[in-house]
Amino acid sequence: MKSKKILYGVCGIGMGHTYRQLPLLDELAIDNRIVLFVYGESKLFYEEHFRHSENVTVLTVSVPFYVGNAQGLDFAETARRIAASGIDHEAINLAAMEKTQELIGKPDLVISDYEPISAQYAYASGTPLVTIDQQSKYLVGDYDQELAGQTCLDEVARLRLFFPAAALRLACSFFTVPRRSGKSGTSDNVLICPPIIKPAIVAIKKRRRLTQQDKSKSGTGTGTGTRTRTRTRSILVYISSQRDFVQSYEEVLTVLSTAPEYHFHVFVKELPQHLLAGLPNNITLRRHGDPRFLDVLAECQGIVTTGGHTLVSEAMYLGIPAYLIPLAVYEQQINAHAVGDNNFGVCAENINQPQLATFLSQLESFAVNIINDKKGKNSKRILVPGSGEKKILAYIRAALSKSSASA
């Protein structure tokens, strides 16, 4: 296929969207010209990643957070926060659009992972838009229930505001989506796809499988629900920014210290210097982005984290039980309940000693439940197997071909 021009937008809230799009971007950047709209934590990551690429230009956009509530969007609070920030979002975004016009003019395709400025450029230029996110499942799924005071109405409102029309909406989900009555899988141009799993995570799955086979041969583990006797039993703990998390670091570390038979590798955004000196022997603190994260993930028996889509998807893909403390966001609540309600782990309001003890004592039964679900041994399959990367790339290439044919 002849080289195409693609405008690609990625949400910069956290790093989940960033990591999800990375394998797609790496593949598309081989033979296409890409302008990338990013902000927040995504910006520095992509600038470094594509530092030597001649096919990718990273541009900064600015997207304020639209505050939600149980009824939809809170425009008054959103306006107050925008005014208080003093950021001229429009000037930043117009500069990015001007540069895009200079670099590629009208793209052949615009792709957005929950980033609305690229969508605006698509509408203005008359370019087909493909969205890739996890939120679009709410357009077709039966999600009328309220969870922890949260509903999906704010997510639906953001989709309508940011992406009122799209040639195709690809919704990634690690669990099966219950259909709303009268809604098929393709309603509103929504297709449900498996989560995009990074190549590094695929490699970890092979590594964990080989490790388990070695343990079975040596008699140190059966893989059938009997307690696996490993030399080091470890738990990966990933805490989002302290501002958003429900507990202080001190509280979390105190609870983790009550399980000395496990080593907890705790990843945090900023290292709390005042806590480093007196850390319990079974706790190691690391910063987000620490290169040892993947090694810890490969060896751990469980994870403790919030309900963010990417890490929870990866844990289920790897067969790792999860103790989840979802933030007050419907997306995180629904992810955590998909895990907790189906005995793939625990859904909790915080990290506390009784629930942590229960989680650790049931790690192997949770792991067996995940395996059995993937093998179709349960009465109703919950987890979506595999990675959606190849499937989504095929949809993107088809959209590029269709765009060329109609040009």
Distance CA 95, CA 307 (A): 35
**Predicted confidence (pLDDT) at residue 372 exceeds the cutoff of 50:** yes
Q: What is the pLDDT at residue 257?
A: 96
Q: What is the pLDDT at residue 228?
A: 42
**pTM exceeds 0.75, yes or no:** yes
The H or E element that residue 130 is part of is strand 129-133
Q: Is residue 349 part of a domain?
A: yes
The H or E element that residue 292 is part of is none
**Predicted confidence (pLDDT) at residue 229 exceeds the cutoff of 70:** no
Looking up residue 185, the CATH number of its domain turns out to be 3.40.50.2000
How large a percentage of the chain has pLDDT more than 90?
A: 73
- Asked if 364 and 402 sit in the same domain, the reply is no
Q: Is residue 110 part of a domain?
A: yes
* Both structure tokens of 377: 């041994």
- Containing domain of residue 134, as a range? 5-196+387-406
- Asked if 187 and 208 sit in the same domain, the reply is no
Average pLDDT over residues 156-166: 95
- Asked if 69 and 154 sit in the same domain, the reply is yes
Q: What is the pLDDT at residue 132?
A: 97
Distance CA 154, CA 172 (A): 18
Reported as a pLDDT band with limits 50, 70 and 90, residue 218 is low
- Asked if 271 and 161 sit in the same domain, the reply is no
Q: What is the pLDDT at residue 277?
A: 82
* Both structure tokens of 196: 């995009």
- Asked if 365 and 395 sit in the same domain, the reply is no
Q: What is the pLDDT at residue 226?
A: 40
Q: Do strands 68-69 and 72-73 pair parallel, antiparallel, or not at all (unpaired)?
A: antiparallel
Q: What is the dihedral of CA 352, 353, 354, 360, to 10 degrees?
A: 110
- Asked if 157 and 126 sit in the same domain, the reply is yes
Distance CA 222, CA 242 (A): 39
* Terminal C-alpha separation, the chain: 15
Q: For 242-329, where are the alpha helices, taking DSSP H only?
A: 249-256, 273-276, 293-299, 309-318
- Asked if 153 and 235 sit in the same domain, the reply is no
- Asked if 262 and 341 sit in the same domain, the reply is yes
Q: What is the dihedral of CA 249, 260, 336, 392, to 10 degrees?
A: 100
Q: Is residue 15 part of a domain?
A: yes
Q: Is residue 379 part of a domain?
A: no
Q: For 86-139, where are the alpha helices, taking DSSP H only?
A: 89-103, 116-125
Q: What is the pLDDT at residue 192?
A: 94
Q: Is residue 382 part of a domain?
A: no
pLDDT tens across 301-347, in order? 999 999 999 999 999 999 999 999 999 889 999 999 999 999 999 99
Average pLDDT over residues 156-185: 87
With a CB cutoff of 8 Å and minimum separation 6, the contacts of 313 are 172, 174, 195, 197
**Predicted confidence (pLDDT) at residue 83 exceeds the cutoff of 50:** yes
Q: What is the pLDDT at residue 215?
A: 62
- Asked if 41 and 153 sit in the same domain, the reply is yes
CA atoms lying within 13 Å on the CB side of residue 334? 25
**Predicted confidence (pLDDT) at residue 159 exceeds the cutoff of 90:** yes
With a CB cutoff of 8 Å and minimum separation 6, the contacts of 225 are 364, 365, 368
Of 240 and 1, the one with more pLDDT: 240
Q: What is the pLDDT at residue 16?
A: 87
- Asked if 267 and 125 sit in the same domain, the reply is no
Distance CA 10, CA 133 (A): 10
**Predicted confidence (pLDDT) at residue 354 exceeds the cutoff of 70:** yes
pLDDT tens across 36-52, in order? 999 988 999 999 999 99
Tally the domains of the chain.
2
Q: Is residue 138 part of a domain?
A: yes
pLDDT tens across 86-144, in order? 999 999 999 999 999 999 999 999 999 999 999 999 999 999 999 999 999 999 998 88
- Asked if 154 and 213 sit in the same domain, the reply is no
Query: Residues, the chain, total?
Result: 407
**Predicted confidence (pLDDT) at residue 77 exceeds the cutoff of 80:** yes
- Asked if 152 and 222 sit in the same domain, the reply is no
Q: Is residue 16 part of a domain?
A: yes
CB of 240 within 8 A of CB of 327?
A: yes
Reported as a pLDDT band with limits 50, 70 and 90, residue 217 is low
pLDDT tens across 134-150, in order? 999 999 998 888 888 88
Q: What is the pLDDT at residue 243?
A: 59
Q: What is the dihedral of CA 394, 396, 398, 400, to 10 degrees?
A: -150
Distance CA 257, CA 270 (A): 20
